[in-house]
Structure 1
Amino acid sequence: MTDRRYDMDWIRIAAFVMLILYHCGMFYVTWDWHVKSSRASDAIEPLMLLTNPWRLTLLFLVSGAATRFMADKMSVGQFTWARMGRLWPPLLLAMFVIVPPQTYYEIVEVVQALPADVAAQYAGAVDNFWVRYATGSGNWCGPDGCLTTPTYNHMWFVAYLILYTLALVLLLPLLRRAPKGVAWLIAGPGLLITPWLFLFATRAILYTIYGETHDFRADPYAHTAYFAAFLFGFAIAKYEPFFARCLKWRLPALIAAIVTWLVLIAVNAQYPGEATPPDWMYVLVRGVREMLAWTAIIATVGYAHRYLRNADGPIRQTLTQAIFPFYLIHQTIIVVAGHYLDELRLPIALEGALLVCITALGCWLFFDLGRRVPVLRVWIGLPSKQKEIRAKNIDIVAGEAT
């Protein structure tokens, strides 16, 4: 079995790109987010619904698979140390340097939306902002509660990866035998049915009760769904029959994903805004949503395995390194650029295109600077230069051996 899956590398790259574009879209839709366009509407919400149900599940699945390849090369102690060393510094950098501008502009936009006479009472809301943010003494409160700072915002994904990695260490002996159990669960139609039933039950029961908070202390739905996806990815990373079955089912899965997406669009059109369907329909809609999620993942894995499993080269190698730093910085760029672009009142299509381009350029500059300055590499999730050279030499030797 190969020590690297190029198809999973490409899926990881595509999943993060999809997430970055999704967050650009969040600036323009009616759904709640940190800052909003003054011209937000439901125009692109159907397109957002296409990826909303499965983008995060896919990310955790791919992260679990990547973790498997890393864990198999090291002792438990080395693996734990290496993983924590790659995740903790970027999380701390985000909480105290990258995320604060998001909170700043969130407060600014809330104050700007108030009537002039009321807004005047909050003229000093962001005075001495960073100190108040870092010490949790901002007292930024509104009808929906108070902002808790310091916080991790979009970096909740990394915080959860840290928790799941630590839990994984305890489960490693069991999980290395997991493909036998996975083989039985996903045999034949079970590839579609078993994961879908799990996702459906989790969404219908836990999400209904607890919602999804991204607060690691109180997020039972997310922990159940995403930790399961993480473990599943770890279990199937080197289990070739899973990829063969996704390859076989890729077209039916793609058709099912498109059909279920159209059903969700139709339901949303029938119950717009705050309107909600009857309880019985609500349960069915959640089943449809999770069917979209899982069939989209099967189709993605299947088509990637068909066309990208041998697709190596400088682009993959660069993007594999770059995509995590992109993720680290992207949301702050979107928030800041979106706030100022909105004031220019450009045509909405031009503004949206500029927001995407500014975000892409900012992500690249952040990555390029970070990789060139040795002291910054660890803070953006990159290995030291010496470790990178050593890893490349190992890859070259492995390539020559095959």
Structure 2
Amino acid sequence: METHAILRRHDLDWLRFFAIILLLFYHTGMWFSTWGWHVKNEETSLIFNYWMIWSHDWRMPLLLFISGAGTFMALGKRTKTQFVRERFKRLFVPLAFGMFVIVPPQIYYERIQEFASFWEFYPTTFEFEPYPQGNFSWHHLWFIAYLLVFSILILPLLAFLRKPASMEFRNLLERVFTRPATALLLPAGMILLSQFLLRPYFPDETHDFQDWAYFVFYFLFFAFGLIFYSNPRLWESLGKNRKVFLAAAVLILIPFYGIYLHFRNVWSLPIGAENVEIFFDVTSIFLSWFTVLAIIAYGQFNLNRPHPVLKHVNEGLYPFYILHQTVIIVIGYYICQWDWSIGMKYWTIALGTLGICLGIYFGLIRPFDPIRYLFGMKPQPANREHKPKPVLVP
């Protein structure tokens, strides 16, 4: 039995759109930042590092928080078996398809000097040797793999929260988390504790189900998205406390960039190197949670309204996510060989990727039900105007 009606959240639709478009610009920036990536432009720029180091800490946590809320909606009136079957179609099918069709071109262009053509490279995918030693990977589709596992792990809590028997527990959550200080600090403290316990043993973010610190980090954002959305009054309290959350998200930037500028040798902090690293990691965790709360809160207050654009873009976000990094790498490989400035290359790759992904979506994916299925989309409604339902996961 459901505890309350599931309402259409236009603010989550808008924020999902915003988060996925941010991924387009973030992954394009990886061509030009000084950080390592699959492929790189010959010339790089620190300008990208300064905004990407900030957005890196909250872009995926935001998507996972939204996906947690969407997963609460996804159960609906389904049984647990129906829910798992729906998650399989929405997540596992496009993940498998992506690993054999969408991701291989990324690995090929990373190792293009080793092969005469893509068709010489492609059979090595079926050797199933994991990347980076081999050529089999899910690359950016790790998010889908983790989301599938998160959805299964959260199912007992999800089912409990949808029952009247959870009322006392949900009331407790409401009393605790409607207070802005508690909403800011208690979840952040839980995330921080998990990282304190796990990162010394699993320090790297590898996206292979062996990076347990980051697995738990992302799972907690997903779980808190589900928990906050499970209680309407708790969810509405986020919007009411938006100014507090925004202030916290802005103020945390002072120590965050203060330490980052220390790393860039702009100035020197009177702290030992190891302590600076720890302080930066702690600050990054608070930045992640504070920024996600602020974005969700202001989105709820300002964006929860319908718009004709939403029904056209919402359904296409998931295919766009699946496609975007491959297109960025393929067209970027050629554009980055041109004698252009970094700015010209960046915007050409970003806008070119946007145009190509839209063309693939409208020309090859949206009209054909078998292709829609491979991209985790529902069949087109028959004999009526197509009105897509909200996309619950990117």
Partner of 2:173: 182
- 1:181–1:228 Cα change, 3 Å: farther
Q: Determine helix, strand or coil for the equivalent of 1:344.
A: coil
Q: Which amino acid aligns with 1:232?
A: F
1:379 — aligned with what? 374
1:94 aligned residue: 98
Distance 2:139 2:197 in 1: 25
**How many residues are treated as equivalent by the alignment?**
375
1:377/1:383 contact within 8 Å kept:
yes
> Within 5 A, what are the aligned runs for 1:164-175?
164-175=150-161
Stretch of structure 1 that moved more, 251-260 or 367-376? 251-260
What's the secondary structure of 1:327's corresponding residue? helix
Q: Which ranges in structure 1 are unaligned for 5 or more consecutive residues?
A: 112-121, 141-145, 396-402
For structure 1, which segment, 177-186 or 149-158, has the greater mean C-alpha deviation from structure 2 after superposition? 177-186
Letter in 1 for 2:19: A
61 and 129 in structure 1: CA distance in 2 versus 1, 3 angstrom threshold: same
Deviations 1:183-236 (A, max 9, x none): 244242101110111222233442343124344431211221122222222222
Measured in 2, the distance between the counterparts of 1:344 and 1:38 equals 11
1:126 & 1:81 partners in 2: Cα distance?
35
Greater fraction helix? 1
- Letter of the 2:173 partner, please give it: V
Is the 1:160–1:216 contact (alpha carbons within 8 Å) kept by the matching residues of 2?
A: no
**What stretches of structure 2 of length at least 5 have no aligned partner?**
none
- Displacement of 1:123 after TM fit? 6.5
Contact 2:311 2:388 in 1 (8 A): no
Structure-2 change in CA distance of 1:242 and 1:350 (3 Å): same
Q: Does 1:162 align with 2:148?
A: yes
CA distance in 1, matches of 2:96, 2:75: 24
Structure 2 CA distance for aligned equivalents of residues 160 and 68 of structure 1: 17
CA deviation profile, 1:34-56 (whole Å, cap 9, x unmatched): 11111112222111122111111
2:314 matched to which residue of 1? 320
Please say if 1:231 is aligned against 2:223: yes
Give the aligned partner of residue 14 of structure 1: 18
**Equivalent residue of 1:386, what SS?**
coil
Q: Scaled by the length of structure 1, what TM-score is found?
A: 0.85
TM-score with structure 2 setting the length: 0.87
Q: Which amino acid is the alignment partner of residue 183 of structure 1? A: E
Question: Which residue identity is paired with 2:13?
Answer: D
Matched, 1:360 2:354: yes
Q: Output the amino acid matched with 2:151.
A: T
Quick one: structure 1 residues 83 and 387, their matched pair in 2 at CA, closer, same or farther if it must change by over 3 Å? farther
Asked whether the 8 Å contact 2:72–2:158 carries over to 1, the reply is no
Instruction: Report the aligned-residue RMSD.
Output: 2.7
* Alpha-carbon separation, structure 2, partners of 1:6 and 1:75: 26
Aligned to 2:192: 200
Q: Does the aligned pair in 2 maintain the 1:4–1:69 contact within 8 Å?
A: no
Amino acid at match of 1:150: F
Displacement after TM superposition at 1:343 (Å): 0.5
CA distance in 1, matches of 2:147, 2:389: 26
Deviating above 4 A after TM superposition, structure 1's stretches of 4 or more consecutive aligned residues are 122-127, 387-395
Q: How many Å separate the matches in 1 of 2:154 and 2:388? A: 29
Q: Percent identity?
A: 26
Please give the alpha-carbon distance, in whole angstroms, between the structure 2 residues aligned to 1:99 and 1:167: 26
Confirm or deny: 8 A CA contact 1:9 1:320 kept in the other structure: yes
Q: How does 1:251-290 map to 2 (within 5 A)?
A: 251-272=243-264, 278-290=273-285
Q: Per-residue deviation at 1:266? A: 2.6
Equivalent position amino acid for 2:300 in 1: H
Give the drift of 1:391.
8.8
How much does 1:371 deviate? Answer: 0.6
* CA-to-aligned-CA distance 1:137-178 (integer Å, 9 cap, x gap): 69x9xxxxx433321000000011111122233443334335
